[in-house]
């Protein structure tokens, strides 16, 4: 878990490069006891924050998110609950999420997005279709299924949206089933990740730090971004080539194929 001193150090390194931080790389940001303080530090630097959470702690932690000008949006990934919860548990979970969000006045609320990235997958205890039907019921709306067949997302309330996408597999270095040596990705072009131990990675999918570009706590970010390994990955993607083994196994990057004109 990052300490306040480490977070502030990371923030100072990142601030010249971005005005938006996403608090997530697989882990659960609402577990951090200092999340409210971190949001205040971001606000002082005029940096906006997007939190990605599974939402199970939202009710308990919502107080830490109130009156935080830095907090722009909160995405709540529903997939893990879909995979493990019974129908009744899923329904209670949705009720608790909505109750937590209702503690915000709509006009002073960050945008909450229910993220359902298991489209096309009918595995898990709650399927994509089941989840959509239950969301329809909770929001007392009709036609959500049809609407989400035509577009990836829509608004459920003025401060709550839903976003859907196809199911994807996290890349694994030893899984060579979908290996590809050509392709493109926005990693290092539009994003980098920083793990809690300071390891800099090219994207939010490398949660194990396989593509370890350097450590932000011991090396200036400028040096890490100028390193041979970082530059090789970046330049390879620009030529539609894949330099890193993990990236060769990654199917998530196919979402960026349409953006490959650089």
- Report the interface residues with ligand SF4, using CB under 6 A: 171, 185, 187, 202-203, 205-206, 246-247, 250, 252-253
Q: Which is nearer to ligand SF4, 24 or 253 (CB)?
A: 253
Sign of CA dihedral 161, 164, 202, 57: positive
Nearest distance in Å: CB 115, ligand SF4: 17
Q: Which is nearer to ligand SF4, 198 or 202 (CB)?
A: 202
Q: Which is nearer to ligand SF4, 82 or 250 (CB)?
A: 250
Q: Which residues contact 186 (CB under 8 A, 6 or more apart)?
A: 203, 256, 259
- CA distance linking residue 244 with residue 206, whole number of Å: 11
Nearest distance in Å: CB 111, ligand SF4: 24
How many C-beta neighbours within 10 Å does residue 250 have?
27
Sign of CA dihedral 65, 80, 167, 191: positive
Q: Which is nearer to ligand SF4, 142 or 174 (CB)?
A: 174
Nearest distance in Å: CB 260, ligand SF4: 12
**Coil, strand or helix: which one is 71?**
strand
Nearest distance in Å: CB 203, ligand SF4: 3
**E strand or H helix that includes residue 146:** helix 144-150
Axis crossing angle, helix 87-101 with helix 128-139, rounded to the nearest 10: 50
- What value, to the nearest 5°, has the Cα angle with vertex 70 and ends 67 and 72? 95
- CA distance linking residue 49 with residue 27, whole number of Å: 16
Nearest distance in Å: CB 170, ligand SF4: 9
Nearest distance in Å: CB 25, ligand SF4: 11
Residue nearest to ligand SF4 (CB): 187
Q: Which is nearer to ligand SF4, 55 or 171 (CB)?
A: 171
What separation in angstroms does the CA of 81 have from each of 33, 84, 258?
A: 23, 5, 31
Q: Which is nearer to ligand SF4, 148 or 205 (CB)?
A: 205
């Amino acid at each position: 878990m990052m300490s306040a001193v480490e977070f502030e150090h990371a923030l100072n390194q990142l601030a010249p490069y971005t005005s938006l931080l996403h608090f997530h790389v697989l882990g659960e940001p609402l577990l951090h006891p200092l999340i409210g303080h971190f949001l205040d530090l971001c606000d002082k630097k005029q940096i906006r924050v997007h939190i990605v959470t599974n939402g199970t702690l939202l009710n308990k932690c919502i107080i830490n998110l109130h009156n935080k000008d830095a907090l722009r949006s909160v995405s709540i990934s529903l997939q893990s609950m879909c995979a493990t919860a019974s129908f009744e548990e899923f329904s209670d979970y949705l009720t608790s999420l909505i109750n937590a969000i209702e503690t915000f006045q709509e006009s002073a609320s960050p945008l909450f997005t229910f993220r359902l990235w298991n489209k096309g997958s009918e595995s898990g205890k709650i399927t994509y279709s089941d989840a959509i039907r239950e969301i329809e019921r909770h929001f007392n709306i009709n036609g959500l299924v049809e609407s989400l067949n035509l577009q990836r997302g829509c608004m459920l309330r003025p401060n709550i949206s839903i976003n859907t996408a196809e199911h994807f597999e996290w890349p694994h270095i030893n899984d060579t089933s979908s290996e590809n040596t050509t392709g493109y990705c926005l990693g290092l072009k539009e994003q980098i990740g920083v793990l809690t131990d300071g390891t800099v990675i090219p994207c939010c999918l490398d949660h194990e730090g396989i593509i370890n570009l350097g450590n932000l706590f011991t090396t200036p970010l400028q040096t890490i971004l100028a390193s041979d390994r970082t530059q090789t990955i970046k330049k390879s993607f620009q030529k539609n080539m894949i330099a890193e083994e993990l990236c060769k196994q990654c199917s998530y990057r196919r979402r960026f194929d349409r953006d490959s004109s650089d």
